[in-house]
Amino acid sequence: MILEEKFSNFNVLTWFITSKCNFNCHYCFATSETRSKLKEKPEISLVDIERGFDSFKDNWIIHITGGEPFIKRDFIPICDIISKNSLLSINTNGCILINV
């Protein structure tokens, strides 16, 4: 699921990169009906992600949320791809420690 909005001089794209999370908060959007619908969708490949974000040049902020983004397979390579051309922000619960 992707949302776009204008933010000052930047375009902001919010990417719900995964509905999976290491928590199961009762109030969570990601645990709602939306989550089960998202689970049915196949994961996008790194090649397709790179192809998609290649057209994003200046003035883009890519905001990644979930679920817990750090659970997503290949999350760090995905961040590398996005940050080549865009500013990157990540919404995380901060409870998964990995080398970033």
The contact set with ligand SF4 (CB under 6 A) reads: 21, 23-25, 28, 30-31, 66-68, 93
| Nearest CB to ligand SF4, comparing residues 20 and 46 | 20
Query: Exposed/middle/buried for 22, CB within 10 Å: 0-12, 13-18, 19+?
Result: exposed
Shortest separation between residue 49's beta carbon and ligand SF4, angstroms: 21
Instruction: Tell me how far apart the alpha carbons of residues 82 and 54 are, in angstroms, rounded to a whole number.
Output: 8
| Nearest CB to ligand SF4, comparing residues 68 and 86 | 68
> In the chain, where does DSSP find H-type helix?
33-39, 46-53, 75-83
| Nearest CB to ligand SF4, comparing residues 60 and 75 | 75
Instruction: Tell me how far apart the alpha carbons of residues 10 and 57 are, in angstroms, rounded to a whole number.
Output: 11
Shortest separation between residue 25's beta carbon and ligand SF4, angstroms: 3
